[in-house]
Amino acid sequence: MMDERLIQILIDSFSKILLPGIMVTIPLTVISFSIAMIIAIIVAMIQFAKIPVLRQIARFYIWIVRGTPLLVQLYVVFFGLPKLGVIIDPFPCAVLVFSINEGAYCAETMRAALESVSVGQIEAGYCVGLSYLQIMRRIVLPQALRTAFPPLSNSLIGMVKDTSLAANITVAEMFMATQRIVARTYEPLALYIEVALIYLFFSTVLTRLQNAGEKKLNKYNQK
């Protein structure tokens, strides 16, 4: 049974954990994922178009990012680059690393989605006089994005949880807020469960939004 002291700690800490979640964790996720999607679409289109040199560069980027841990990437940029005279503040550093990391994974999702569009539709676009960019914008990308929506939504949910790693480079998000409270109160089990439940709440909201989005896309596809 929890004693009165522990209950009071949990009540007092809730807002102190939730506020950084709303003010830091969510913005960090939204900004990073938005930039990651831009990177992913560009990299996927380069691979889809099979542009010789750029395609090799894109594959190298994906190979490096997917083959190294996210935490190591954070450390290299935040702690390593200052040795070269490049100093980046914690929050922009986290945005940069999360965007580059997630961009590589989403690029593979988008590449697979692009390749799922039948070649016949692309050839039909050329037959009616559309340019390559017009075909991509009007025919291929809309279909690819609908196909990629579920896995991309899963990636977004994963990123919400991955932002906890930003605490390692002093970003004051909700996991770091929890660590500070634990250091002061010596109640790690209860407080880490509390922050886990808040992450679960954020992920559940995004899951519900994902389900709603998939239903709308299914209705659109049936028309």
By residue count, the chain amounts to 223
Domain ranges within the chain, ordered by starting residue? 13-222
20 CB-near residues (< 8 Å, 6+ apart): 172, 173, 174, 176, 177
The Cα-based distances of 146 to 13, 22, 140, 168, 219 in angstroms read 40, 28, 10, 35, 12
- Please, which pLDDT band fits residue 27 given cuts at 50, 70 and 90? very high
What pLDDT, on a 0 to 100 scale, did the predictor assign at position 2? 64
Mean pLDDT taken over the chain = 92
Q: Report the alpha-carbon distance of residue 210 to residue 157 in Å, rounded.
A: 10
Q: Would the pTM of this model clear 0.75, i.e. be above it?
A: yes
**Interval 156-205: pLDDT, tens:** 999 999 999 999 999 999 999 999 999 999 999 999 999 999 999 999 99
**Interval 64-113: pLDDT, tens:** 999 999 999 999 999 999 999 999 999 999 999 999 999 999 999 999 99
Domain at 13-222, CATH from 3.40.50.1100, 1.10.357.10, 1.10.3720.10, 2.60.15.10: 1.10.3720.10
Nearest residue to 112 via CA among 155, 145, 153: 145
Residue 148: how many CA atoms within 13 Å on its side-chain side? 26
